Amino acid sequence: MSGRSQPLIALHVVATGKKNAALRKDDAIVALLNCVDACVAQHDVDVVIVASEEETYAALQVTRSMQRSGVSPTLDLPLHALARELAVKAREGNLSVLVGAGLSVNAGLPNWRVLLSNVAQAVNLRAPESDEDLVRFASWVEQSMGPRAFRTAIADQCRATRYALGHALLGSMPIREFVTLNYDALLEEAAKAAKAPLVVIPHGRISAGQRWLLKLHGSVDRCDDIVITERDYERFDDWRAAFRGVVEAQLITRHMLFVGFGMADPNVARVLESVARAARRDEGKQGTSVGTLLHFDAIAEQEKQKYPLSFVHVAGQENDIAPRARQIEILLDDVARLAEDGTHHLLDRRFDGLHPAEVAVREQVAGFLTNLHATHPDSRLRHEIMQRLRPLMGGDSKLIPMFDSK
């Protein structure tokens, strides 16, 4: 995968090849995890296992946690402690995520500086040395190319054929609220692949219980709305002020994780400053962290004091970003593993080998449901009980034939 420090191998959970092998998915999971552990111990590669069913995903994560006693061997203790903290917040519904351009670099997309440099080549302009001047530089490039050609070129640079591992990990987590400054559609595609799609704001309509993604700076499919020049940032206060209010609300009511994000964006800096002012007005919130920012580059202590965030530095060689980007992927993987409640497969007979102690309970539940169906087939309460148990049955609900009857 583009930009990685180590090769990445993806594997599906497959059957053993024997007749009715699908009924013994527990054995396949244990064997696959053992094989993968042996592989990565001998070779400098990373392996991801892809689960197409929610119950298989739950079983994989639970088995991984049992095998490693809850400790990720590749994370240092501070990052592992952070993973546990974020996982608890995710399970409780108190975690939101702000995604920056850094996450899309592993999908082969350029960062902000490279993006503008690539587009500016068409008019023989060279990007400035300082990131602080990039917004002004974008305005110059637009004037030279013309608005339509410039924005089309920006959108074309932000299209990718596949999402990165970080997108897949975030899309699989029990997180309902995302914000991004990116123009690409990679997070949306990853969430859709995880069968947990995101409604995109501002153009989508959210229904109760749906996950959503607020795209603050526009999208590749609506290049006229892209925020990139000085004029765009000035207009932002007028025509997207309400959306900045959404971000402020997230920072106040949730804990926000900043991934792939630097402090250069003026819109996010303004939001953080307004939240900091609100926190200072409320004596009870002074010193309270409203989010966690993962960063590679050193941030001055004076700069940190401006914002009510926990700054987590991912250590490594200054000019070698790829290994540190890998550490963030491992951190996100740990959060996803620890945030999984591990219940979606408990009534599925294909996973009996993973939880022998639960088999007797499962059989008692099956007997109870069978008797309930026989004695009260038309009961609304019986039907409600069936629906509540459906998530625990995984792909095995047909083993209780009356499950779908009402």
Residue position matching structure tokens 């966690």: 292
Q: Which two tokens stand for residue 218?
A: 């526009």
Answer left, alpha or beta for residue 218, where phi above 0 means left and psi between -120 and 50 means alpha: left
Q: What is the dihedral of CA 80, 81, 85, 91, to 10 degrees?
A: 40
Give the pLDDT of residue 402. Answer: 47
CB 325 within 8 A of CB 5: yes
Q: b or e along 328-350 (b: 16 or more beta carbons within 10 Å of the residue's beta carbon)? A: bbbbbbbbbbbbbebebbbbbbb
Distance CA 64, CA 71 (A): 10
Is residue 372 classed exposed, middle or buried when 0-12, 13-18 and 19+ CB atoms within 10 A define those classes? middle
Phi, psi of 184 (to 5 degrees): -70, 170
CB 343 within 8 A of CB 58: yes
Helix axes 147-157, 134-145, angle to 10 degrees: 120
- What sign results for the dihedral spanned by CA atoms 247, 290, 169, 160? positive
CB 240 within 8 A of CB 248: no
Q: How far is CA 163 from the centre of its chain?
A: 11
Q: b or e along 242-251 (b: 16 or more beta carbons within 10 Å of the residue's beta carbon)? A: ebbebbbebb
Helix axes 54-67, 25-42, angle to 10 degrees: 50
Query: Which superfamily is assigned to 8-109+158-339 in CATH?
Result: TPP-binding domain (3.40.50.1220)
Q: Provide CB contacts within 8 A for 134, sequence distance 6+.
A: 112, 113, 116, 127, 128, 264
Average pLDDT for consecutive 10-residue bins of the chain (406 residues)? 78 65 71 90 92 84 79 78 94 93 86 90 87 87 93 92 92 94 94 92 82 92 89 79 81 90 69 72 62 84 84 76 85 92 71 70 80 84 81 59 46
Give the pLDDT of residue 401. Answer: 46
The pTM assigned to this predicted structure is: 0.84
Residue position matching structure tokens 């004037």: 143
Helix axes 134-145, 112-120, angle to 10 degrees: 30
Domain-by-domain residue ranges, the chain? 8-109+158-339, 112-156, 349-404
